[in-house]
Structure formats: C-alpha cells, structure tokens
Structure 1
Amino acid sequence: MSDILSKKEIEHFINKGFVRINNAFSKDTADAALEILWNYLPCDRLNPSTWNEPVIRLGMYTNEPFIESINTPKLHNAFNQLIGKDKWIPCRSVGTFPVRFPSEKKPNDIGKHVDTSFPGNDPNNFFEWRANVKSKGRALLMLILYSDVSENDAPTVIYEGSHIDIARLLSKEGDAGLSFMEIAGKLEELPKRKEVYATGKAGTVYLCHPFLVHSAQPHRGNNPKFMAQPPLLLKGELSISESETSYTPIEKAIRLGLD
C-alpha cells in the first residue's frame, strides 16, 4: 500500500509532536470493543444515574477487537514511516482504559505529565518509572478513540511542540534519565505551549511523540468517553547522534531539543 502519512504530516509530527489518523479502524471494531468494555463497568449503559464516578479505570484487553484496532495496515504503515521498518513491536494489548463519565466531581488524574518507559528501582511503583533522551523502550504514545469525542467529552489535552522541551530536559540527564515525578516537577518551568484537544470520531488515532506533554480534563458532555493509550514499543535503540544513515522522524524530533 502507498504511504499513509504525507510529507506535511510527517513534518507536523517532527515539529508539533503528533499526527492524527482518521478512520484508523472501523466503527464496527470500535463498537465491538465497547460491548466488551461495558461488561466490565459497574454501571448501567442505559442509565446515567448509575454513572457515579468521573473516571473508572479498566485493565489490559487482548480480545480480538482491541488487537484488530491497533494492528490495521494503515497504522502499521504509519509506524514504519515514523519509527522505521522493523524497529517497533506490534501491540498485543491496548493497555488500561481511563473511562471518563460526565460528572460534577473533579477527576484526580488531570495533571500535566509525560509517560515514562522503563522501570526505576521499584518496577511496581509507576511514579518511579523513567524516561531518557533516547526514549528507551518506547516508540510512540497512542491515543486511541473507541467512542466519539467532542470538545466537551474530556478530550486529552496535547501541548503542541512540548516534546522538544522534554528532549532538551532529558538531554542533560544521561542514560538514567528522569523519573515520572521528576519530570512532572519541572513541567511548569517549560515554555507555554498551544493546547490542542484530541477529538474525533471512534476509530481516530493520535500518534504522539513519547515525550509529548499531555493531560486529562473533566468531562462536560453527555456520553462516556472510551480511549486507550498504549505505548508502541521499540525493538532496539534510537539513534540521535552520529548516525551513519538518515534519521527517522522520531529521531529528528528528539534532535530538535538537543543543544
């Protein structure tokens, strides 16, 4: 198949930190995934009075609709364009689902953050997980919409171009990098960035640079929001200096932050 991403879209990924792919998978696949997810929720799909929490987290899913949604030819093609052919590992799980409901209660997970990619001293402590300038282990952050998401439906806030600031931050920290909490503690010192909402129809996927700063927000709409946010894992290590071949888009993006 011909390349999915245009030259302009690849430049957008390098400079802004993300690219949006519409119709990355079908509505039928999204609907099949929702059928499964509702079975695990402690509330009634047809009765909003039972939606008592602003966010409910569901676990890892490996059922066919989920695996199908993140392994379409369109997405694999985009992975090859951004990361390089044979440099990434196909997803076999969509990770956790923070299902967001319309609520007057404020969710407790709406702070700015960067997803980390390898364990610290305690692998069971998420806040000790780390990221380094070579994005050890992680090729992409993916925001995968299984329901329609408008501006009122708690879309993820993307801070455009913030991956460059994080690359600059991590470039001073060597292979050990920084922990989730160490990065979080430095985010307010970074340049102010334009906020973009990750909206779209079910089947939309945002492919984000792993260093992109993002945050959740409260739900002001009517229908629950279903989004997965799995990493795309790296097979090897990125090359961000003294490459004998040309750099891939993910590597070029990191190099924008290297002084």
Structure 2
Amino acid sequence: MSAILGEKEIEQFIHNGYVRIDNAFSQEITGAALDILWKDLPCDRLNPSTWTKPVIRLGMYTQQPFIDSLNTDKLHSAFNQLIGENRWIPCRNVGTFPVRFPADKQPNDTGKHVDVSFPGKDPENYFEWRANVKSRGRALLMLVLYSDVSEKDAPTIIYEGSHIDIARILSQEDDFGLSFMELTGKAEALPERKEVYATGKAGTVYLCHPFLVHAAQPHRAKTPKFMAQPPLLLKGELNISGAATGYTPVERAIRLGID
C-alpha cells in the first residue's frame, strides 16, 4: 500500500495536531449513508420547518456504507503512517451522530473538550471515562464529513497545537489519567490557540491527534450537517519513552509536550 501522506503533512500532524484527507471516500458511499440517517431522523428531509432542534443525536451505525467510508485504502495508508502497521483496529462502527440543524435555539454542547478513551469506575457514565498520556485504547480522533461543510455549517473548531498542551497535562498523571470532566475543566484554561474550522466536501476526513482540543458551534447556514467523530481504536497503548526503533508521528507529538 503506497504512502498517502507526505513529509509536510506528517509534520503538520505532529505540530498542529491534525491532517485533512480529501476524497477519503466516494460520493456513492456518502449518499447511501445519508439515506440511512435521514430515515432515522424524526423530521422531514424536504421540509425545513420540521427542523426545530439544533442537534439530534443518533445511535451507533454499523451498516456497510459507514464501514466502507472508514476502511478505504487511502485511510488505511494514513493510519499506518501515523500510528504504525498492526497497531490499530479497523473501524466497525462510526459511533453516535450529532446531526446539526439551522435553528433559532442554541445548542448546549459547544464547550471545548478532549475525547476520552477508556472507562472509569462507572463504564455507563461517559463523563467518567478517561484518557492517559499513553492514549490507552485510542489512536486517533476522526472528524468524518458526510455532508458538505462550509464555515457557516457548524464546522467543528480545532484548536491547533492544543494536543501538546494536553500531553503536558496528562504527563503529570498516573496511568489512570484524567476523566472527561477533569480534562474539560483544564481545556478551558489552556493558552489561546489558533482556531481552525473542519470544513470540506462530503467524503473529507480530518485525522486528529487523540489529545486535540475541539468544540462544536451553532449552525448558521441552511443545510443540516452530518459528521461522525469516531475514534480509531488502538491496540494497547502508545510508546512514548525508551523506544529502540523510534517513534510514530502520534507518539512524537506527545513527546513534544513532555520533553
């Protein structure tokens, strides 16, 4: 499998915390996925007057179009370059779908946060899930666009370079790391970082460092936004010290925060 990312893109991922993959999957896959999602929404696809909520969250999706969207040769090549071969688990679902609509009411989920990767004392309570400096269980955060997203279509805000700040914070904790709520509190107090909008055509995927701080925002356009943000699961933990054969880009990024 040929390498899809150049040296410049690898360095961008290490220092900025993300890399954008255009045309990661086809428009045919996009169309099939959207047909499934619209059937599950409690509103009319052709009648905007029924779009009364700013966000509707749909459940886990494992149908073939979703699996195909995250398992293209292009994405697998990028996974190998960023994480290393045989160190990640192919995606078998895309997690929950926060579908965002243009609405007068403001969404209540727009705070800065870092996604967490392993359960705490109560596995049923996501707010108690945790992350540690070795990113146990999570290789990447992925922002997967199933609809065209402009700057007005509620693009996810990426805080460029914030993964280095989070690595520094987590390096001061033990293997149990910090909970979602603990990390959220610390994310709000981090140094100011450049804001980048995760825009693009349907089929675009942003591969993000697992520690990258990001946030949702209100929808200001006319067409609903469909984006999944599944993890790429990691086999075990990352190696961030004492490596005899060097470090992968995702590991090198963490080391910037702890060296």
Sort the TM-score into its range (normalised by shorter chain).
over 0.9
| C-alpha contact 2:83 2:249 (8 A) present in aligned 1 | yes
Task: State the Cα distance separating 1:188 from its structure 2 match.
Answer: 2.6
Using structure 1 for the length normalisation, give the TM-score.
Answer: 0.99
1:105 counterpart = 2:105: yes
Instruction: Tell me what 1:257 maps to.
Output: 257
Task: State the Cα distance separating 1:65 from its structure 2 match.
Answer: 0.5
List, as ranges, runs of 4+ consecutive aligned residues in structure 1 with deviation greater than 3 Å. none
**Counterpart residue type for residue 144 of structure 1:** V
Task: State the Cα distance separating 1:104 from its structure 2 match.
Answer: 1.3
- For residues 44-79 of structure 1, the C-alpha deviation after alignment (integer angstroms, 9 at most, x for no partner) is 000000001000000111111100000000000000
- For residues 29-51 of structure 1, the C-alpha deviation after alignment (integer angstroms, 9 at most, x for no partner) is 10110000000000000000000
2:89 and 2:230 mapped to 1: Cα distance? 12
1:250 and 1:92 mapped to 2: Cα distance? 22
Instruction: Tell me what 1:239 maps to.
Output: 239
- State which drifts further: 90-99 or 232-241: 232-241
Task: State the Cα distance separating 1:236 from its structure 2 match.
Answer: 2.3
Alignment of 1:15-164 (within 5 A): 15-164=15-164
1:197 and 1:237 mapped to 2: Cα distance? 29
1:235 and 1:185 mapped to 2: Cα distance? 28
**Counterpart residue type for residue 188 of structure 2:** E
Counterpart secondary structure, 2:139: strand
- For residues 118-158 of structure 1, the C-alpha deviation after alignment (integer angstroms, 9 at most, x for no partner) is 00000000100000000000000000000000000000000
**Counterpart residue type for residue 167 of structure 1:** A
Instruction: Tell me what 2:186 maps to.
Output: 186
Counterpart secondary structure, 2:118: coil
**Counterpart residue type for residue 174 of structure 2:** G
Counterpart secondary structure, 2:144: strand
Counterpart secondary structure, 1:256: helix
2:183 and 2:43 mapped to 1: Cα distance? 36
| C-alpha contact 2:62 2:92 (8 A) present in aligned 1 | yes
Task: State the Cα distance separating 1:237 from its structure 2 match.
Answer: 1.9
| C-alpha contact 2:118 2:130 (8 A) present in aligned 1 | yes
Counterpart secondary structure, 2:182: helix
Instruction: Tell me what 1:210 maps to.
Output: 210
1:188 and 1:57 mapped to 2: Cα distance? 24
Count matched residues. 259
- For residues 134-190 of structure 1, the C-alpha deviation after alignment (integer angstroms, 9 at most, x for no partner) is 000000000000000000000000000000000000000010100000111112321
1:64 and 1:184 mapped to 2: Cα distance? 34
- State which drifts further: 232-241 or 194-203: 232-241
Identity %: 76
Unaligned segments of structure 2, at least 5 residues:
none
| C-alpha contact 2:114 2:187 (8 A) present in aligned 1 | no
Counterpart secondary structure, 2:8: helix
2:189 and 2:237 mapped to 1: Cα distance? 29
1:133 and 1:239 mapped to 2: Cα distance? 10
**Counterpart residue type for residue 59 of structure 2:** G
Using structure 2 for the length normalisation, give the TM-score.
Answer: 0.99
2:188 and 2:116 mapped to 1: Cα distance? 18
Instruction: Tell me what 2:200 maps to.
Output: 200
Unaligned segments of structure 1, at least 5 residues:
none
